[in-house]
Amino acid sequence: DGDVYKYYADGEWKKSTSGKSVSIINPTTRKPQYKVQACSQEEVNKVMDSAKSAQKSWAKTPLWKRAELLHKAAAILKEHKAAIAECLVKEIAKPAKDAVTEVVRSGDLVSYCAEEGVRILGEGKFLVSDSFPGNERTKYCLTSKIPLGVILAIPPFNYPVNLAVSKIAPALIAGNSIVLKPPTQGAVAALHMVHCFHLAGFPKGLISCVTGKGSEIGDFLTMHPGVNCISFTGGDTGIAISKKAGMIPLQMELGGKDACIVLEDADLDLVAANIIKGGFSYSGQRCTAVKVVLVIESVADALVEKVNAKVAKLSVGAPEDDSDITPVVSESSANFIEGLVNDAKQKGATFCQEYKREGNLIWPLLLDNVRPDMRIAWEEPFGPVLPVIRINSVEEGIHHCNASNFGLQGCVFTKDINKAMLISDAMESGTIQINSAPARGPDHFPFQGIKDSGIGSQGITNSINMMTKIKTTVINLP
């Protein structure tokens, strides 16, 4: 069946023997756009075997050669940006310009990773024994970083390319092999990205990409004994994975309810611009999106007015037209968002705009006077709907932020750097941005969530380190 995109294993594009496929629904047209193979468990087993044997020789490949191949893949990825971006537009309704940006950013990430890898993996430590009580200087300890083995990478729909390479490149530079399970929405963009790595000439079996139904191969992959590390980005599934996975390192980036605390002295124009960018870019479908605004009552009216003026200017429509607000990824996602909106309506939130939805397209909506009894005060819509909670003190804002199950990022707006630092320290989140909206990038910055927002830290350097293990050799002198 020529219409079904093949999966990638052993350096080849293959049809699944299951004879089954999975349809990818275009969020804009709500019609099937592409089909991918529904791989079987048997195929996963084969991929794991090849990944294991390819990794053994890859680990012995000189570091500079691994880096060279990654640089090559990065360049090819950038050359193919238009074709990959087109898939992102059709599969996940990412606005056209943002789709291109995602691919370029991914190429840069791969190159940076190659450079960082040769530096940090190119050095180890030397320790002597006589610093510890009771020891003579008779033991010399040498440390180096060795790969973990087979890394299972599971990126989410919102960055199927970027959040795939942010796992693939650190894994490869560190001498690991990769089994990629792309999200269904975004699978074809991911397959195109894998093709760029194929063209770069990585050894057979080192990189595999299996597509299919989570119900068939999801648990099978995450619980597979051949997997030595899981790097996952997504939602609640990550919590389930962490409970089922074996004794292996996990890197998890899950949801967020990033709070934006606004003080009386804040530059309200700057805040409004960041609320728009932070809350509404890619229609709010980012784990780092601003998901609740906590504003001091005395400046709330002025801020809401400024944000509303900017919301009115957002274009709403198709991703092909590069609209600011595009259809959310699926009908079930749109229904979920609508549920949160209805709940807020029933409980008396102020609607700054009329709620409007056509298919999966939801118009941007600011909800003012949201109270803690409303679901939207705590749950992440992953859509263009943003709650505003008016607070009477900074403490109230910090309390709301810390009462959340999530703790990914947060931000605080004030001209007083001393206050900002104290608030940053008090907010229980992985990163606090002072005077800017939350964001993961630049991609070499550490990126981590606490509580239900994740396990471990990402960012290029941390990911490389996380995908290695320390090995020591001790020379014992007579």
Task: Based on the residue annotation, tell me whether 287 is a catalytic residue of this protein.
Answer: yes
DSSP strand pairing (365-368 vs 150-154): unpaired
Instruction: List, in order, residues 6 or more apart from 133 with CB less than 8 Å away.
Output: none
First to last CA, the chain: 69
User: Between 149 and 319, whose beta carbon lies closer to ligand G3H?
Assistant: 319
User: Between 90 and 286, whose beta carbon lies closer to ligand G3H?
Assistant: 286
Q: Which stretch binds ligand G3H (CB under 6 A): 223-231, 239-247, 282-290, 298-306?
A: 282-290
Sign of the CA dihedral 436, 283, 230, 193?
A: negative
| Interaction between residue 439 and ligand G3H (CB under 6 A) | yes
Contact 24, 189 (CB under 8 A): no
User: Between 181 and 286, whose beta carbon lies closer to ligand G3H?
Assistant: 286
Q: In angstroms, rounded to a whole number, what is the distance separating the alpha carbons of residues 232 and 292?
A: 25
Binding mask 139-168 for ligand G3H (x = CB under 6 A): -------------------xx---------
Alpha helix ranges (H) inside 354-434: 394-403, 417-426
Instruction: List, in order, residues 6 or more apart from 14 with CB less than 8 Å away.
Output: 6, 7, 8, 37, 43
| Interaction between residue 286 and ligand G3H (CB under 6 A) | yes
- Least distance (Å) from ligand G3H to the CB of residue 282? 7
Q: Which of 196, 229, 287, 411 is catalytic?
A: 287
Contact 429, 441 (CB under 8 A): no
User: Between 118 and 427, whose beta carbon lies closer to ligand G3H?
Assistant: 427
User: Between 228 and 461, whose beta carbon lies closer to ligand G3H?
Assistant: 461
| Interaction between residue 66 and ligand G3H (CB under 6 A) | no
Q: How many residues does the chain have?
A: 478
Q: Which stretch binds ligand G3H (CB under 6 A): 6-14, 121-129, 284-292, 423-431?
A: 284-292
- Least distance (Å) from ligand G3H to the CB of residue 403? 22
- Least distance (Å) from ligand G3H to the CB of residue 35? 26
Q: Which of 43, 253, 379, 380 is catalytic?
A: 253
Q: Which stretch binds ligand G3H (CB under 6 A): 29-37, 42-50, 58-66, 435-443?
A: 435-443
- Least distance (Å) from ligand G3H to the CB of residue 158? 5
DSSP strand pairing (450-451 vs 454-455): unpaired
Q: At what angle do helices 96-120 and 162-173 cross, to 10 degrees?
A: 10
Q: In angstroms, rounded to a whole number, what is the distance separating the alpha carbons of residues 246 and 230?
A: 10
Could you say which of 111, 184, 288, 429 contacts ligand G3H (CB under 6 A)? 288
Contact 274, 241 (CB under 8 A): no
Catalytic residues: 253, 287
Site residues (CB under 6 A) for ligand G3H? 158-159, 286-288, 439-441
